[in-house]
Homo-oligomer: A and B are copies of this chain.
Amino acid sequence: MSKKNKHIENSKEYKSLNVNKGIDQPNSINPNTKYIKTKKKLSLDEYVEGIKSGNRTVLSQAITFIESKLPKHQEIAQEIIEKCLPFSGNSIRIGITGVPGVGKSSFIETFGLNIIKKQKKKVAVLAIDPSSNRTKGSILGDKTRMEQLSIEKDAYIRPSPSVGALGGVAQKTRETIILCEAAGFDVILIETVGVGQSEIAVHSMVDYFLLLMLSGAGDELQGIKRGIMEMADSITITKADNKNIQKANLAKAEYKNALHLFPPSESGWIPKVTICSALENTGIDTIWETIINYVKLTKENKFFSKKRDEQAKYWMYETINNYIQNMFYNDKDLKSLIKQSEKKLLNKEVTSYKAAELLLDAFKNK
C-alpha cells in the first residue's frame, strides 16, 4: 500500500466516515441503482477507481470530503481530485439561472430526462446558492422537486454545498465537476438563482450559460441582476404552454431584438432566444440542439478550450487574490482602523487614496 493510501486509512476522520453511512445522497432512493455494498474502508486508489467506474456511492462520499471543513477530509479530497483530474474535462458544462418562480426545477427535470432518454447521455445536476438562508442543502435540497429525474440511473443530483462564502462554495462546485466528469457524466448542469454574485461564479465555470425568463418582461425582471442578460449564451422563455404561448412568442421577439443590440461576444456566437414548456416537453430539444451548435462552433474556432483555460486561470487568481485580501481585511488590529478610515473618508477628512495609504502603512508596520 502506498504511503498516500496509508495515511487515509489511518486517519481518525476517515474511520468515522465509512462509505454507505450518512451520505447526503439524493439518489439513494433509486431502487434501480446497484451500489457496491462495500463495508470496508476505501484506499485512495479505491476511491479513484470507484469514481471512474461510475459508482455513485463512492462519488458521493468523495464529494462529502470536498464539502467537509475538516482538514483531514480536505487532504483526502485533494488527493482524490488530483488523481481524477486527468480524467476530467469531457463534459458539456451548462449553467442555468433565472429568478425564483421561473421554473428552474421543472425545466431541469424535463431537460435532463430528454438528454438521458433521447441523447443517451449521463447527466449530473449541481447547484450553487451560497446566499441561501434556507436549511443546508439549499435549492436542490428538496428531492421531490425533480422526482422523475432523481430516480434515473443516468442522473446524479447533488444539492448545493452548505451556505458559506461564494468563493468557497464555487471551489467545492468546481472540484465536484472534476469528480463528476471522471465518473463519466457527459453533461453537467449547474443551477443557480438569478439574484446575486453567484451568476458570475457559475458563468466562470461553465461552457454555456442559459438564462430562463418568464414572458411578460416587466415586473418579472425585478430580481435579475443587471449584466446577467449580457452573459447569456441563450435565453429561454419558460412556461410557454396553453394561453401563454402568444405572450411567450412576444417576449421572445423582444429579447431577440434586445440581444441583437448587444455587442458580439468573443466566442463568435450570436445569443439565441427560444421558448419552451417543461410541462408539455416542447421546445426542450431545441435548447439542446442550440447548445450542441454552440459547442460545435466554439470547438471549431477554438474558443471552447480557450475559455476553459481562461476559467482555470481565473479561479487560480481569484483564490490567490481572495487569500491575500483576507490577510489584510481579517487582521484584527486593522479592522477597527478600517472602520475609522471609512468614517474619515465619508466626512471628507481624507481622500480614498490617503485613507488607503494610511491603512497600508499600518499593515506594513505590523
Residues of chain A at the chain B interface (Cβ within 8 Å): 78, 81-82, 85-86, 88-89, 171, 174-175, 178, 217, 221-227, 229-230, 254-255, 257-258, 260-265, 309, 312-321, 323-325, 327-328, 341-342, 345-346, 348-357, 359-360, 363
* Distance to closest chain B CB from A2 (angstroms): 19
A262 nearest in chain B by CB position: B226
Closest Cβ of chain B: how far from A129's Cβ, in Å?
19
* Partner among B174, B230, B319, B320 whose Cβ is within 8 Å of the Cβ of A226: B230
Separation of A227 and B232 alpha carbons in the complex (Å) = 12
If A221-B263, A321-B325 are given as contacts, then 15 extra A-B residue pairs at C-beta distance below 8 Å, sorted by A number, are A81-B351, A85-B348, A217-B260, A217-B261, A221-B264, A225-B263, A226-B262, A227-B227, A229-B230, A258-B258, A258-B261, A316-B342, A318-B352, A323-B356, A325-B325
Q: From residue A222, how far is it (CB to closest CB) to chain B in Å?
A: 7
CA distance A317 to B317 in the complex (A): 18
Interface of A: prevailing SS: helix
Interchain residue pairs with CB less than 8 A apart (25): A85-B348, A86-B348, A88-B348, A174-B351, A174-B353, A175-B351, A217-B260, A226-B263, A229-B261, A229-B262, A258-B258, A312-B345, A312-B352, A313-B346, A313-B352, A314-B352, A315-B352, A318-B352, A319-B352, A319-B353, A319-B357, A320-B328, A320-B360, A323-B356, A324-B327
Q: Which residues of B contact A359 (CB under 8 A)?
A: 316, 320
Residues of the B chain whose Cβ atoms lie less than 8 Å from the Cβ of A230: 226-227, 229-230
A354 CB contacts on chain B under 8 angstroms? 78, 81-82
- In the complex, chain B residues whose CB is within 8 Å of the CB of A263: 221-226
A313 to B345, CA, bound (A): 8
Docked complex Cα distance between A275 and B353 (Å):
38
CA distance A356 to B230 in the complex (A): 29
- A313 to B89 alpha-carbon distance, docked (Å): 40
Q: Enumerate chain B residues within 8 angstroms of A355, measured Cβ to Cβ.
A: 316
A229 / chain B contacts, CB cutoff of 8 Å: 230, 261-262
Q: How many angstroms from the CA of A255 to the CA of B257 in the assembled complex?
A: 9
Write out the residue numbers on chain B whose beta carbons fall within 8 Å of the beta carbon of A78: 354
Residues of B within 8 A of A323 (CB): 356, 360
Q: Contact check: which of B221, B261, B351 meets A82 at CB < 8 Å?
A: B351
CB distance from A192 to the nearest CB of B (A): 16
Smallest CB separation, A361 vs chain B (Å): 11
Interface centre among A174, A325, A352 (most CB of B within 10 A): A352
Identify the interface centre among A89, A178, A262: most chain B CB within 10 Å of its CB: A262
List residues of chain B with CB within 8 A of the CB of A171.
353
**A353 is contacted by which of B88, B258, B315, B342 (Cβ under 8 Å)?**
B315
**Complex CA–CA separation, A263 to B223 (angstroms):** 8
**Chain B contacts for A264, CB-based, 8 A:** 221-222
**CB distance B346 to A309 under 8 Å?**
yes
Q: A253–B360 Cα gap in the complex (Å)? A: 50
Inter-chain CA distance A321–B348, complex, in Å, is: 21
Closest CB in chain B relative to A183 CB, distance in Å: 16
